[in-house]
């Protein structure tokens, strides 16, 4: 199988050399070319025909944001990974780039990091994302749990919705969250694989866009109807019952699937706290985080919806859930919000109708 051809775009010669050295160390990847700015990148794409572009955000002249938009005019499918700084400005620009069509991002190592540490960071973060975004060129797929037999499902009342997502998730959430009405009767909790600064800014953007209040998770906060909580970067987020209330808890226990926050951690706590009254939704993302948690939720009697392959940036996480036999429904992104609202509304109407009969 031919290697994945990558075009590196960065105004720093040091960074171009660093990325080139790291990527060419992997036999499944080759550097198709490099460019020092957006204009050169646009000229290079038709010539070198890359399978993927890595793109710096801050460049003189045509910066990364403009370059993303221009690339999308030429090619709507070419994967683009942004190379951003782990700062508030870098996080904000990265979210802007994702909104303009970038596929994913990698944060630059800090200036204090040694060359060896910088290379290892890039190797661990960038190479898996390249292979995930170019699956037809990569030689391996994410491992999945063995399928289990589908069992008849009882449609219980839904008291919480838990989302898990990664690559492509910010844009997916920007499409799904506005579908929830101001009268939505239950809380929503979300794990999006992102660093701390990024999750705070994502929560702020979602809060301004939708009708429900969106916050970054806080220790001890009580879950209320119509609230959305996003796990803060570098912290696992869980839910637990304290007397009559369900509250959030944060911890820095070891990462799972190399992630903190991890979807499996949240899903397990949701299953333990809400049992059969939980609905989990797994959106686009690389890897298999969420599959084991989905199984725990279904074993407790809850349900699991997943995003379909056609509308996913990467069908790793939702695809893993499907292959493990843990998906109750597979939906295109455009319909997920509406499907969740209908499921929650109908479940609670059915429960309300049963209560007088039971009395």
What's the confidence (pLDDT) of residue 55? 97
What's the confidence (pLDDT) of residue 68? 97
Q: What distance in Å separates the CA atoms of residue 12 and residue 19, rounded to the nearest whole number?
A: 11
Q: What distance in Å separates the CA atoms of residue 339 and residue 252, rounded to the nearest whole number?
A: 33
Q: What distance in Å separates the CA atoms of residue 85 and residue 35, rounded to the nearest whole number?
A: 19
Residues acting as catalytic residues: 166, 193, 289
Query: Which residues, at least 6 apart from 329, have a Cβ–Cβ distance to it below 8 Å?
Result: 303, 304, 305, 306, 339
- 55 Cα distance to chain centroid: 20
> What are the residue ranges spanned by the domains of the chain?
4-133, 160-358
Instruction: Judge contact between 264 and 294, C-beta under 8 A.
Output: no
What's the confidence (pLDDT) of residue 112? 66
Task: Indicate the CATH number for domain 160-358.
Answer: 3.40.50.180
What is the per-residue pLDDT across 231-270, written as a single tens digit (0 to 9) for each? 999 999 999 999 999 999 999 999 999 999 999 999 999 9
What's the confidence (pLDDT) of residue 258? 93
What's the confidence (pLDDT) of residue 116? 87
Nearest to 327, CA basis, from 305, 342, 348: 305
- The pLDDT averaged over each successive group of 10 residues in the chain (359 residues) is 95 94 96 96 97 95 95 96 89 96 90 81 94 74 47 77 97 97 97 96 96 97 96 98 96 97 98 98 97 98 97 97 97 98 92 60
Q: The tokens 């090619």 sit on which residue?
A: 75
Q: The tokens 């929503």 sit on which residue?
A: 188
Write out the H or E segment, with its range, that includes residue 173: helix 169-176
DSSP track, 336-355: HHHHHHHHHHHHHHHHHHHH
Q: Which class would CATH give 4-133?
A: alpha beta
Same fold, 4-133 and 160-358: yes
What is the per-residue pLDDT across 272-286, written as a single tens digit (0 to 9) for each? 999 999 999 999 999
């Amino acid at each position: 199988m031919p290697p994945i051809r990558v075009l590196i775009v960065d105004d720093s010669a040091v960074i171009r050399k660093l990325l080139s050295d790291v990527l060419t160390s992997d036999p499944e990847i080759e550097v198709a070319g490099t460019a020092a700015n957006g204009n050169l990148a646009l000229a290079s794409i038709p010539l070198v025909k890359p399978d993927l572009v890595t793109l710096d955000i801050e460049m003189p002249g045509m910066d990364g944001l403009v370059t993303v938009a221009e690339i999308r005019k030429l090619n709507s499918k070419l994967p683009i990974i942004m190379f951003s700084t782990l700062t508030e400005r870098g996080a904000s620009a990265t979210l802007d780039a994702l909104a303009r069509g970038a596929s994913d991002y990698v944060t630059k190592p800090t200036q204090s990091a040694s060359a060896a540490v910088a290379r290892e960071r890039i190797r661990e973060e960038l190479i898996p994302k390249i292979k995930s975004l170019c699956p037809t060129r990569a030689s391996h797929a994410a491992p999945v749990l063995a399928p289990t037999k589908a069992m008849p499902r009882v449609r219980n009342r839904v008291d919480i919705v838990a989302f898990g997502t990664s690559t492509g998730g910010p844009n997916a959430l920007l499409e799904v969250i506005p579908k929830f009405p101001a009268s939505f009767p239950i809380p929503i909790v979300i794990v999006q694989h992102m660093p701390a600064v990024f999750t705070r800014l994502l929560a702020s953007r979602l809060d301004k866009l939708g009708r429900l209040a969106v916050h970054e998770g806080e220790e001890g906060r009580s879950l209320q109807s119509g609230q959305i909580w996003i796990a803060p970067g570098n912290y696992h987020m869980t839910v637990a019952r304290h007397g009559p209330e369900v509250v959030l808890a944060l911890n820095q226990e070891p990462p799972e699937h190399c992630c903190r926050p991890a979807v499996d951690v949240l899903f397990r706590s949701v299953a333990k706290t809400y049992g059969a009254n939980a609905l989990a939704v797994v959106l686009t993302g690389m890897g298999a985080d969420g599959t084991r948690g989905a199984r725990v939720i279904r074993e407790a009697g809850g349900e699991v919806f997943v995003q379909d392959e056609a509308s996913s940036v990467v069908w790793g996480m939702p695809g893993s859930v499907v292959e493990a036999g843990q998906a109750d429904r597979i939906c295109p992104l455009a319909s997920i919000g509406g499907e969740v609202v209908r499921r929650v509304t109908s479940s609670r109407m059915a429960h309300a109708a049963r209560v007088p009969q039971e009395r």
